[in-house]
Amino acid sequence: MLHFTIKGRAVPYTRMTRRGKYVRTDAQRYLAYQEVVQLHARQAMAKEGWQCIPKKVPIEFGCKVYLKGGLDGDLSNYVKGIEDALNRLVYEDDRYIVRYTKDTEKVFVDHKDDERVEVWVQIAS
């Protein structure tokens, strides 16, 4: 199982056009967050000796998003953003995710310093 934590506030999936990713600030923020997720995943993969899961292998995925109140995105958009960031890195394609762990949820915390995302990926049994 690959497990890693991304410190800081999560950024939900943002739909964008080809032009929009260059001019919309929310799209820029989302793309920057994708790079942060990928950096943490690469570090965890190196530490664990993890290889990219090939196509057609069923995957179990989980993430717990810790947020300090306020207006928040849908849990599904946070999950989608993390899934997309891990495509062709941790697994070949997120279409092979067949199950979410029971720990996949949004958790509200009292302090901004406690905001983070915990991610789990493994081959489904």
Name the superfamily (CATH) of residues 2-123.
Answer: Holliday junction resolvase RusA (3.30.1330.70)
Asked if the model's pLDDT at residue 121 lies above 90, the reply is yes
Average pLDDT over residues 112-121: 98
Contacts of 70 (CB under 8 A, 6+ apart): none
Which tens digits make up the pLDDT trace of 56-115? 999 999 999 999 987 678 999 999 999 999 999 999 999 999 999 999 999 999 999 999
Asked if the model's pLDDT at residue 21 lies above 60, the reply is no
Residues 52/117, Cβ–Cβ less than 8 Å: no
